[in-house]
Amino acid sequence: MSNGARHVLGVVAGLLLPPIIAASLWYGIGDHLLRFQSAFEPSWVGLSAIVASGIAFAFLAGSRLSPIASLLGGLAFTALGVLPIVELRGVRVLPDHWLPNVMEQGFLTVADSGVLLFLGVALVVVSLFPSRWRSSGKQAVYPSAYDPAPSYLPPYSGPEDATRPMHRE
């Protein structure tokens, strides 16, 4: 795959995956938290959403994908992770009840605990490694300075080999 195609796919993945990861994580955390508080039992749907968002996050941070994907996702998660800090300074940024109850509970839990900021910074740092920006080109093949040495093994003895039962005479 050419470097340009890899980066175009990285832009597409960087724009599509972070909202899906965030929504899945917020729903999973919120559903699990509310179920655990009300009935003191785990929410399997919530835990499944958390696992799915973890798998998608690992794909986003993976080294085979263009670093543009992790950079875009990291900037989005970092911006969302900074919002609670900005609101603590007295600037009202988020409207009340902008998400459904379960997702809002998950967002507040993840954002106020600093997990969104952590995820964002991790993705930004992962995208800064120089080796991720270069394509994995083919290795250069240099001609050998010497002729190949003769083999010390006996030559292959084709179908007349007497050690094979079907070729015995």
Token code pair at residue 56:
């998608």
Token code pair at residue 139:
């290795």
Q: Which amino acid is located at 3 in the chain?
A: N
Tell me the per-residue pLDDT of 80-102, one tens digit each, with 9 for 90 and over.
999 999 998 888 888 888 889 99
Element containing residue 118 per DSSP (H, E)? helix 115-127
- 40 three-state secondary structure: coil
* Share of residues in the chain with pLDDT > 70 (%): 85
CA–CA dist 73, 94 (Å, integer): 20
* Per-position DSSP letters for 8-33, written without gaps between them: HHHHHHHHHHHHHHHHHHHHHHHHHH
Does residue 159 or residue 42 have the better pLDDT? 42
pLDDT > 80? residue 58: yes
pLDDT at residue 59 in the model: 92
pLDDT at residue 90 in the model: 86
pLDDT at residue 165 in the model: 62
With beta carbons less than 8 A apart as the criterion, state whether 12 and 70 touch: no
Token code pair at residue 67:
């670093």
